[in-house]
Amino acid sequence: MKVAIIPQYNNNYNYKYNARYFGRNNSNVVFGADFFNKKALKVAQERVKHLEAKNASLETHNKVLEELLKKLQIPGLVGTKDVIEKLLDDLKKQFSKDNEEFFGLDKYKSYIAEKLAEPLSYDPMVPVFNRIEDRKPLSFAKVFKYKEAPEPTSVKKATSTISLVNKLFKDGFISFDYTNETSKIIKNSKAYIKGKEFGLNENLPTDMTKKYGKRVGWSDEKIARDLLQNFYDAHGHSLEGTKIEITTVGKKYKVRISGLSEYEHENIQYIGAGDKDNDLYNAGGFGEGTKILSAVLLANEKTEKVTFSSVNWSIDYRLNNNTDNAIIMRQLNKLEEPTKGNFVEFETTDLNLVRKIIEARNYFYHPENPDFKDLTFENEHWGFKILPKDEGGNLYMTQRFEYETNGSWEDPLDEIVLIFKRRPQDAKLLGKNRDRINLKSSELVEIIEKDFANTMTDEELANAILNFEPMWNLKNNRKIDESMAYKVFKALVKVASGRFINFDFENKKYASLHFSLNPEIWDIVKNLGYELVNTEMYYMGVDSVNNIYKKTRKHIPIKPNETEKKKLILLEEGIALLAEDKKMAERINLEEARKPRFIFDAKEAKEENTIAESVNENKVYKGHWVDRKALNNKDFYYLLATWLHEITHKYGGDGTNEFGYKLTDVMGLELESLMNEPERLEKLRYLRSVFNKL
């Protein structure tokens, strides 16, 4: 017997095996070789050995044939049709048996028979899968795992101002000492005066008047804040290194604020002489706050002198007379005994101002300020703390700011503390104005969207949004309001959506309140196990109630008949065969091959052009739908390719580069696998033969 290894193809470009009888003394066996690489050659060589072992059997067939021909007295191959067909049939059976033994098909056939005899796991009442709308290209999305948000906690309030004022009345003295070993200190050799400076010991007029001080009209909160502002800037943007002392002196209150840093007297002697303008983290920056502060204190007629000092100098500010036209005077003095660092000191009869100075210690960061503890999010640029419902929080833009209207300094923000550690990069977002002490909600939203949210990493942004769960999860029938916390949440979602951030909610089923909510539709979706979330989560990948309802109506699973059940099983086994390849397992694995598959009626759903549709949730393949007509009329290989197509949609939607490249990759790997392993190809052929007979 002669054996030839020859590749042959049918019209579908599938390899085939042929056996033909050519003569009494010359048996030729022709079968298709799958490829010509080393592995294929090895497989072919093994089969040659197998066929040679069957040579004796074939010789026996030859002899039988010769005897039959002699009996029929038919020369050569001339004979009756039924005899020839019987002989060829015998040969086909022999080669079929050889193939089954060689590829182990006998065991595989038994396995498939058992699978087809088992009941199909298919529940037509299973909760309907939701699908990605318009094949949303999830390959662009950055997907983060859902983590349940902790319950918001309240800000632990500082000791009340009333109790501190009562202590002042009782003891005649209170102090707040924030100096410690870690305090940042600015040393300045130029701070020392030599005794020959211009105006030393002279009472000289400034360019400010009492009228100007009254016209500025700063509130007590603004005065108190500006008193501490320089100490905050001078100690590394913290009140660490600062000490506040208030003493009763008869009917007056002596206020002394001291710090460890040093500065030159020119900084407060002339308007615009400051040096903080370029640092966005500084609370000050115009070089005029100290001078105007002195004018305002003197103009209210409750303070007679304001003293500023650093190391070996001091400057006193006074009015030159008691009239409304009085000029504010200044005098530079040299101290006999240098002081450590610097201080500002004055006496006042204004108890309300004293109260505001006590409160102003928490207008800035320091280790004991409760607003800066246990923040929900914080980086070097900004931070915030989500508060329980109906609680208020404070606003900081390097220092305490008012919110919306004048007078709203204490807890004006609904359900959030907002801390901006610097001014915006774009000065237009804040506006440069020395009296700018309040911000509107619209301005805050713009500042967050255009600046501060962009300082967050994708992970920080995702975690921050998840921490707003008490606001976006409406399970407690929470009313969607326009609190400042909610506005911050919306601003973060807008930025996250632009970065294609999505969430993997795993076993949680959420439906977003996108557009209006029909109670009847919501009842249907709710009965499918969904929880309602607010509109913003739609942009984080949560489908809307209305969309889920439409898909539910469109894709109610059809209960398959017995033939359809078997076809689904055979297709599943086909995918499982392909997924056995180690290289393929990186793209499509056995777990995905066993995912649920449901039949729907494309015609009934008015989607005649839809043959199949995958179910993907955050780049994870969950199963897919297949049209009943396609299942019953399309070829096994066609449906198998469709199945691969749908699984590959986990990488992206139709038309995306990611999906196209991955699909090409998957198909290429399958061809390589089938070329390398003829056994798998034979098993697929068997599945197809069973499928097409159904």
Express each pLDDT in 430-480 by its tens digit: 765 555 567 889 999 999 999 999 999 999 999 999 999 988 988 755 566
Share of the chain above pLDDT 90, in %: 33
Is the pLDDT score of 31 beyond 70? Answer: no
Shared domain check, 563 and 547: no
- Rounded mean pLDDT of 625-647? 84
Do 95 and 121 lie in a common domain?
no
Q: Are residues 260 and 285 in the same domain?
A: yes
Question: Is residue 135 one of the residues assigned to a domain?
Answer: no
Span 253-262, pLDDT tens digits: 999 999 999 9
Of 221-235, 370-384, 437-451, 661-675, the poorest mean pLDDT is in: 661-675
- Dihedral over alpha carbons 494, 500, 503, 509 (to 10 degrees): 80
Q: Say if residue 5's pLDDT is above 50.
A: no
3-state secondary structure of 317: strand
pLDDT digits (tens, 9 = 90+) for 134-152: 334 334 468 888 888 888 8
For 381-407, write each residue's pLDDT tens digit.
Answer: 999 999 998 899 999 999 999 888 666
**Torsion on CA atoms 681, 687, 688, 692, rounded to nearest 10:** 170
Q: Identify the band that residue 496 occupies on the pLDDT scale cut at 50, 70 and 90.
A: very high
Q: What is the pLDDT of residue 345?
A: 98
Q: What is the pLDDT of residue 88?
A: 58
What residues contact residue 642 under an 8 Å CB cut-off, 6+ apart? 611, 612, 626, 630, 634
Per-residue pLDDT tens over the stretch 583-614: 777 777 777 877 777 777 765 544 555 667 76
Single-letter residue type at 157: K
Closest C-alpha among 358, 357, 433 to residue 397: 433
> Mean pLDDT across the chain, nearest whole number?
79
How are the residues of the chain apportioned to helix, strand and coil, as percentages rounded to the nearest 5?
A: 45, 20, 40
Q: Say what the pLDDT of residue 11 is.
A: 40
pLDDT at res. 133:
37
Residue 457 lies in a domain: yes
- Are 398 and 279 contacting, i.e. CB atoms less than 8 angstroms apart? no
* Residue at which a domain ends, from 553, 568, 601: 553
- Cα(546)–Cα(533) distance, integer angstroms: 13
Q: 330 and 429 share a domain?
A: no
Residue (of 98, 370, 332) closest to 202 by Cα position: 332
Q: CA of 327: how far to CAs of 160, 205, 332, in Å?
A: 39, 7, 17
Tell me the mean pLDDT in the region 634-656: 83
With respect to residue 630, please indicate whether it lies within any of the assigned structural domains: yes
> Does residue 502 lie within any of the structural domains?
yes
Question: 3-state DSSP call for residue 205?
Answer: strand
Residues 355, 415, single domain; the answer is: no
439 phi/psi in degrees, rounded to 5: -135, 140
Supply the pLDDT for residue 130: 38
Residue, of 237 and 674, whose pLDDT is higher: 237
pLDDT score for 23:
35
Same-domain check for residues 348 and 280: yes
Give a yes or no: residue 137 inside a domain. Answer: no
Return the amino acid letter for 269: Q
- pLDDT value, residue 39: 55
User: Half-sphere exposure of residue 605, counting CA atoms within 13 Å on the CB side?
Assistant: 25
Give the list of residues 6+ apart from residue 561 with CB closer than 8 angstroms, or none.
none
pLDDT at 553: 56
Count the Cβ atoms, other than its own, within 10 Å of residue 360: 26
Rg (CA), the chain: 43
**Nearest Cα to 401, choosing from 219, 551, 234?**
219
pLDDT tops 80 at residue 286: no
- C-beta separation of 626 from 611 below 8 A: yes
**Confidence band (pLDDT; 50, 70, 90) for 20?**
very low
* Residue 668, phi-psi category: left (phi > 0), alpha (psi -120 to 50), beta (remainder): alpha
- End of a domain among 520, 553, 586? 553
Mean pLDDT of 192-220: 89
Spatial separation of the C-alpha atoms in residues 235 and 422, rounded to whole Å:
15
Q: How far apart are CA 658 and CA 509, in angstroms?
A: 27
The pTM assigned to this predicted structure is: 0.62
Higher pLDDT pick, 602 / 306: 306
Domain check: are 419 and 513 in the same one?
Answer: yes
- How far apart (Å, rounded) are the C-alpha atoms in residues 94 and 336? 121
Given this model, what pLDDT does residue 156 score? 87
Q: What is the pLDDT of residue 398?
A: 93
The mean pLDDT value for 670-688 works out to 83
- Looking at per-residue confidence, does 369 or 73 come out higher? 369
Q: What is the pLDDT of residues 110-127, one digit of tens each?
A: 888 888 887 666 544 343
| pLDDT value of position 334 | 94
Widest distance between CA atoms in the chain: 150
Residue 605, classified by CB atoms within 10 Å of its CB into exposed (0-12), middle (13-18) or buried (19+), is middle
Task: For residues 289 and 283, give the distance between their C-alpha atoms in angstroms, rounded to a whole number.
Answer: 11
Angstrom distances, CA of residue 217 to CA of 299, 349, 438: 9, 18, 15
Looking at the fold, whether 541 and 580 belong to one and the same domain comes out as no
Candidates 554, 550, 507, 509; CA nearest to 527 is 509
pLDDT band at 19 (very low <50, low <70, confident <90, very high): very low
pLDDT above 70 covers what percent of the chain? 74
Contacts 24+ apart (CB under 8 A), 58-66: 58/1, 58/27, 58/94, 59/1, 61/90, 61/91, 61/94, 62/24, 62/25, 62/27, 65/21, 65/24, 66/24
Residues 469 and 448 in one domain: yes
Among 648, 651, 643, 645, residue whose Cα is nearest residue 684: 643
- Is 550 or 117 the better-scoring residue by pLDDT? 117
Give residue 109's pLDDT: 83
Domain containing residue 621: 117-126+556-693
**Domain-located, residue 176:** yes
Distance from C-alpha of 466 to C-alpha of 362, rounded to nearest angstrom: 29
Q: Is pLDDT larger for residue 540 or for residue 52?
A: 540
DSSP calls for 233-301: HHTTSSSTTEEEEEEEETTEEEEEEEES----THHHHSTT--S-TT-TT-S--SS-HHHHHHHHHHHTT
Task: Inform me whether the pLDDT recorded for 372 exceeds 90.
Answer: yes
Which pLDDT band, with edges at 50, 70 and 90, does 662 fall under?
confident
Of 243-252, 342-351, 663-672, give the lowest mean pLDDT range.
663-672
Same domain, 318 and 440: no
* Cα–Cα distance for residue pair 331/269, rounded to 1 Å: 9
H-run or E-run covering 105 = helix 105-117
Final residue before a domain boundary, out of 493, 523, 553: 553
Residue 138 forms part of a structural domain: no
Query: What is the C-alpha separation between 443 and 448, in angstroms, rounded?
Result: 9
Q: Which one has a higher pLDDT value, 420 or 481? A: 420
How far are the Cα atoms of 63, 67, 305, 400 from residue 23, in angstroms, in the given order? 12, 14, 129, 104
CB-CB neighbours of 170 under 10 Å: 9
Say yes or no to pLDDT of 48 above 70. no
In a domain, 139, yes or no: no
> Which range scores top for mean pLDDT: 58-67, 140-149, 167-176, 429-438?
167-176
Is 215 a residue whose pLDDT tops 80? yes
Q: Are residues 355 and 264 in the same domain?
A: yes
**Sequence-distant (≥ 6) Cβ neighbours of residue 398 within 8 angstroms:** 232, 237, 281, 282, 283, 420, 421, 422, 423
Work out whether strand 242-249 and strand 620-627 pair parallel, antiparallel, or are unpaired: unpaired
Instruction: Say whether both 324 and 427 belong to one domain.
Output: no
Using the predicted structure, report yes or no on whether residue 341 has a pLDDT greater than 70: yes
- Residue 172, pLDDT score: 96
Q: Where residue 673 falls among pLDDT bands split at 50, 70, 90?
A: confident
Structural contact between residues 441 and 491, judged by C-beta atoms closer than 8 angstroms? no
Joined together, the tokens standing for residue 236 give 């590394």
Q: What's the rounded Cα separation, in Å, for the pair 392 and 570?
A: 63
What's the domain count of the chain? 4
pLDDT at site 134: 35
Tell me the C-alpha distance between 69 and 215, whole Å. Answer: 130
Coil, helix or strand for 201?
coil
Strands, E, within 55-202: which ranges? 142-145, 173-177
